[in-house]
Structure 1
Amino acid sequence: MATLFLGLNANAARMDMVDVSNNNGYMSAAEYVSMRNEFGVKAVTVKISEGGTYKDPYAASNIANVQAAGLYVNGYHFARYATKAQAIAEADFAGQTAKAAGLPVGAVLATDVESQEANNQSKATNDRNNAAFMKEIQKFGYRADVYTSGSWANNKMTIKGKTGWIAAYPYVVSGKNWYSSNHAWQWSSTAKFRISYGGFDVSQLNSDYYTAGQKSKVKPTNKAAVKANNQKANKNTSKLVASAKWVKETKTYTLKTAVKLHTGASTSSSVITTLPAGTTVKTDQAIIQGGYRWARQPRFNGYGYLATSPASNTLEYVKSGATHTYYTVKYGDSWWTIAQRNGLSMTTLASQNGKSIYTTIYPGQRLVVR
């Protein structure tokens, strides 16, 4: 099926699909039209829900505006399940939420599996849970798939050929079609669009699964712009990833869930121990690399490293200790609006909360602003 998507610039990864959530704020139909006409976007995958209670407040407007722009629309659920029963319950919640938000029957409703809950499970358990979620979600008339990171695919869970949406951000994007046997490859989390604010996750489609099982009928109006913008995005991503470096982060955290402590800043490094929920962790440095945000913990005989979360999603621990001024997130808020309201840059606001500006924030969540 991959041949169906060859075209304008075969030597550069394409921006075939964008995924959006409340972290991107309200997205108008005009923004999606610009993505289609100037960047070659064919499909948008909208966050629907997370765990067993969270409903993305922008899901309905995103779905409606994506459809108004003439793009294919899909959805995803951020998984928190650790058991088969929880997976089925989350699938029922996601399916019901998707129906209420207007996700059309026949769309993909993928399970996004990259949480600490999944990290704590065996490969066999994750496979069982994912299978249960996908079987249940089909009862709502949706097609199923699994999204995860390249380091987890066939390591933390099985991702067979002709399935899967895989995230991996290489140093050099152009010149190689990654995960060509899978449905989609997410190659950047920082793509920029002309009339949209902030960075976006973009993926190249290697099959027609996310375009309703058919060759895409979506056509851009400015092919020259599509070629130039895709090439520019490839270069910008290369520079961003290559320039990742450790930064000072002298903070104290209390773990929300059990987290593995590694010997290095890599999921393939050896595990020193598993720190239980409630453990206090003091860090001195942090870095975003390999799709994860890592924090370094000084120890009596060296350092330990914690993968706090995939860099674009909620961190698995929260700040504690010193007295601060907090702001409670409301519906419609974004990193930008909260930062502006409190005289901060988005980067500073996110950093002092132990997050990145691509971390999803939720209504009711408290953020340190002073």
Structure 2
Amino acid sequence: MAYAAKGDHGVDWSKYQGANGIFGYPDDKFAIIQMGGTTTGWNLYDQWTYGSQVSSAIAQGKRAHTYIWWQNVTTTQQADRVLDYFLPKIQTPKASNGNPGSIVALDVESGGQNTQVILYACEKIERAGFTAVVYGYKNYLQNNTNLKAISDRYPLWMAQYPDYSVRRYPNYNYFPSWDNIGIFQFTSTYIAGGLDGNVDLNGITDNGYTNGNSQKPKTETPATEQGKQIHKDTHNYTVKPNDSWWAIANRYGMEMNALAQLNGKTINDVIHPGQVIRVADKGEGQSVSNKVNTTPAQPKPVQPANNTQYYTVRYNDSFWSIANKYGMNMYTLAANNGLSINSVIYPGQRLKVSGNVQVTQKVHYVKYGETLSGIAAQLGTTVSHLQAVNGIRNINLIYPNQRLTV
């Protein structure tokens, strides 16, 4: 089994690592897997490899986590569109019984960004039962976000490479020093031909798994169930002299390609004496081969409880103020009532809402001549707090009518 510890190594995958992914070394313990993402903030794309890679990682005794490509998402409406699409499709485990869920990272490395929207998205990921993490390169994040505001609230997965030589272990002379880095991606050439290598600095890749055991996810999905079943029906085999994929597959009643895929390889990869691979238990060869060749189903969406609430519109209410009170998106609120946000609402009108009433945030609109320090003193808070929650990098750059959340 792959039990977690500070210092565990792992990889990250997208479609370029194929249906079953590729591990760099036998002692790798985790894989962080791209499920899809957006390049415009409105378009959405899936990675066809996501479910099978999650299953493959679990089958090989590794912990599986998730990431989403996050480019040009600069409004909460875009964030809602992206996350409302992807969150129900996540195949790695959720939080359970007060224990944190698996990592869902936002891959923030290009395009337009908005710190407040990143924080909003991370909060939404956490509410959905996952561990929110932000990935990126230090220089890019510093130049395009308020990185301190992000790292004050959420862990980072930070990348920095000294060169592009094959690198088995991190060179900490090139560590991108910053607060709250949970994972360090130290190379893009973990093996010849290219593969990202990562090190877990504080055990964050345990999240979602009981004691870091890949075979004990906190919650089940079709992919984790399939991976667990494959792992249960297989065992370790040490390659002997003169072995081949065909010979081993034939010995254990497996299809040769399925045997290679089970181990994150192809039949063109050379195996060598002493190498440890997974093979089917006696009598399970065809069953394991079939599972390896089957794409896991999508998770079934959780059906919300029938707890629809209604709200009676009051004087000076708006879609925005009502949606904010109930933790909703104002576009969703309007649509759920057969309206658009350009529709007129009036006192006494009854609107269908969902969620629980939230404590209303204080909001301040900047007046001409005000300073951030003066506003902080007036509202009983600090300049650093206002900077963090509003994504303000330069305290001297605020403007009249700017909306500040307190």
- The TM-score normalised by the length of structure 2 is 0.42
Bigger radius of gyration among the two: 2
In proportion to residue count, which structure has more strand? 1
